[in-house]
A and B are shown apart, each in its own frame.
Chain A
Amino acid sequence: MKTLDPIAVKQITKVNWAPFYLLGPAALLMAMFLLGPLLAVLGLSFTDYQLGAKSLNWIGFENFIELYHDKNFWRSLRNTALYSVVVVPTSVLLGLGVALLIEAQKSFKDFYRTIFFLPVMATLIAMAISWQFILHPSFGFLNLLLKEFGLQGHNWLRTEGLALWVLAAIGIWNQFGFNMVLFLAGLVSIPRHLYDAAAMDGASTALERFRLVTWPLLGPVTLFVVVITAIRSFQVFDTVAILTKGGPSKSTEVLLYTMYAEGFEFFKSGYASAVTIVFLVIVLALTLIKTRYLEKRVHYV
């Protein structure tokens, strides 16, 4: 425990309104836009509320039961999981690989880092439109390139069984630079002398040094990167909304898109809230893992 300094004691002894007016606006907005809505979404998920309806009824777990029997919802959950299962390992490994390659350079580090980071910050909506043109069945670069090699092109975004993979590829393109930066930060913090020590112990190849030093010390960062990427993958929305709208025949429907469609296109607020709760539980579980790690790191540093 810290001891109180005299100034602080003086602060306590007289009535001090400062915290209240300094925190007032933030507290009010926090209640209005975060805590209140969080309780409301939970409450709504137990009602049959439809946007614009005059009244609403408490229907218990009916939304969740409907959800359980809703093939579309399961499909959406499965698609989101599949998307994440593809995007998370690929973008994490790619991020790590690129970070290792860059870190091994003496020159052009900033040059590469800048390029790989561009997709992270460029407006994804605008870039998705560029991808759409690249993937265009008749005039798109990709099909024209395949044609040069005598290969058959595809209607990439309109083919069931292909569209989700294409979206995952765009997701990887969009995310791995972010992971690269986190890995680069992790690599920089590994003390040089550990590599010297490993070399003295006979670790002569780069692969051995990686196995003995880099990988163990990068372990916590890797866990952190995996969880963040998973959270971001579960929130995939932009590319789905503008490239496929969940199609063809629901093959790219993902959780947030289902929530958006139910809530804001079909105006089924109650049902959409139930979808939100499922989304929330998954993201919350992932976030808790991450927070655990962050706390640990704070303790060690």
Chain B
Amino acid sequence: MFSRTLRHVVLLLLAAVVLFPFIWMVLTSLKPPEEIYVDHIRWLPDRMYWIENYTRAFTKAPLAQYLLNGVIVTVSIFLLQVFVNLPAAYALSKLRWKGREFVFGLVLACLLIPPHAVAIPVFLLLHQLGLLNSYASLILPWTISVFGIFLMRQFFMTVPDDLVDAARMDGISEFGIVWRVMLPVAYPALTAFGIFSLVAHWNDYFWPLIAVNEQALFTPPLGVVHFRNDDAGTDFGALMAAATVVITPLLVAFVFLQRRFVQGITMTGMK
């Protein structure tokens, strides 16, 4: 039906459409105002203006602070997720105890809860605890990941019991086994989960919007929206520069770790 060339033509055209918002964003971030506010299409900048645009993005808004907040929040969430959920997954897979099936059932039930659905009570809880408007409010609700527990448990089930038993013979405590035996083995599953977690929380807008209203705590998505609303409403050059900066870290990581990214993010579907 389709000849080879025709297939490539279709795919390339579609690729151009898909890439267009990225390309146009970057091109605009390089242009001076007189080439942005025009009445006909101008592709490439005649006069390079990127230094000015990117400088304004970083000086008119605390963009560096936003990026730092993004790193603090996403990295803290991931590390705490490992700390909280890996031992739980181990207890649900390699230890035999009464009530295990019940607890695992609860984990499966929690998998069904969409995070948006609990936003109001979690907000009220953090308000009661006096934690709103803090890094804690951005991080704490995500430290529990039932999806992480589920995923790691499934992975641990495939790890031979002999490995665990040998460690017990060596006198390693159960807590020690989690970190010294299971963690190294879990590396592939943990990488996929880590990418999923980092991408989800770097990009999240809904929860930070609810949890913080202090500019110093804004994550990159909040920050770039605030920049648009307050400082750069019509300064599209600087705004596109800020948007480019916000997507760059993930994009660069993606190019280097493609397969793992695709694997990690499509896991959300299993959630």
Q: What residues make up the interface of A, taking CB atoms closer than 8 Å to B?
A: 4-5, 7-8, 11-12, 16, 18-19, 21-23, 25-27, 29-30, 32-38, 40-41, 44, 51, 98, 101-102, 104-105, 108, 110, 112-127, 129-131, 133-134, 138-139, 141, 144-145, 147-148, 173, 177-178, 181-182, 185, 205-207, 224, 228, 231, 235, 237-238, 241-242, 256, 259-260, 263-264, 269, 272-273, 276, 279-280, 283-284, 287-288, 291, 294
Contacts and interface: CB of A to CB of B under 8 A. Distances in A.
Nearest to B41: A144
A178 B87 contact: no
17 contacts: A18-B91, A18-B95, A19-B95, A22-B91, A22-B175, A27-B103, A30-B146, A33-B141, A34-B118, A41-B120, A118-B254, A125-B203, A125-B246, A133-B239, A139-B236, A237-B116, A291-B111
Dominant SS at the A interface?
helix
A113 B262 CA distance: 9
Given A110-B258, A124-B203, A129 B243 contact: yes
Contact of A22 (B90, B121, B165, B228): B90
Contacts, number: 281
A36 B240 CA distance: 41
A18 B247 contact: no
Contacts of A12: 96-97
B18 A118 contact: yes
Interface string B80-123: 00011101101110011100100100110011111011111111
Nearest to B117: A280
B91 A121 contact: no
A173 B19 CA distance: 10
B72 interface: no
A181 B110 contact: no
Given A206-B1, A269-B120, A26 B85 contact: yes
Interface stretch (B6-14, B48-56, B184-192): B6-14
Given A181-B262, A280-B117, A22 B39 contact: no
Nearest to A279: B117
A11 B95 contact: yes
B250 A29 contact: no
Interface in B245-271: 246-247, 250-251, 254-255, 258, 261-262, 265-266, 269-270
B246 A123 contact: yes
Interface residues of B, number: 98
Given A98-B11, A101-B11, A122 B116 contact: no
A141 B42 CA distance: 9
8 residue pairs, one from A and one from B, having the closest CB atoms? A37-B121, A26-B88, A37-B118, A29-B144, A40-B121, A18-B174, A125-B221, A126-B243
A34 B144 contact: yes
B124 interface: yes
B106 A35 contact: yes
Given A19-B100, A133-B236, 15 more contacts: A18-B95, A18-B175, A22-B174, A23-B88, A26-B149, A27-B103, A29-B84, A30-B107, A37-B120, A104-B2, A110-B258, A121-B199, A121-B203, A125-B205, A130-B25
Contacts of B40: 144, 147-148
A235 B243 contact: no
B250 to A, nearest CB: 6
Given A11-B95, A33-B144, A125-B221, A116 B18 contact: yes
A279 B261 contact: no
Contacts of B19: 115, 118
Nearest to A130: B25
Given A116-B18, A123-B250, A178 B120 contact: no
Contact of A141 (B10, B11, B41, B110): B41
Nearest to A262: B120
B118 A38 contact: yes
B56 to A, nearest CB: 15
Contacts of B111: 291
Given A7-B161, A259-B116, A288-B112, A37 B125 contact: yes
Interface in B33-77: 36-41
A287 B111 CA distance: 9
B110 A35 contact: yes
Given A5-B161, A264-B123, A139 B38 contact: yes
A279 B246 contact: no
A276 B7 CA distance: 45
Contacts of A231: 114
Contacts of B14: 98, 116
Contact of A126 (B96, B103, B224, B269): B224
A26 B120 contact: no
A185 B263 CA distance: 10
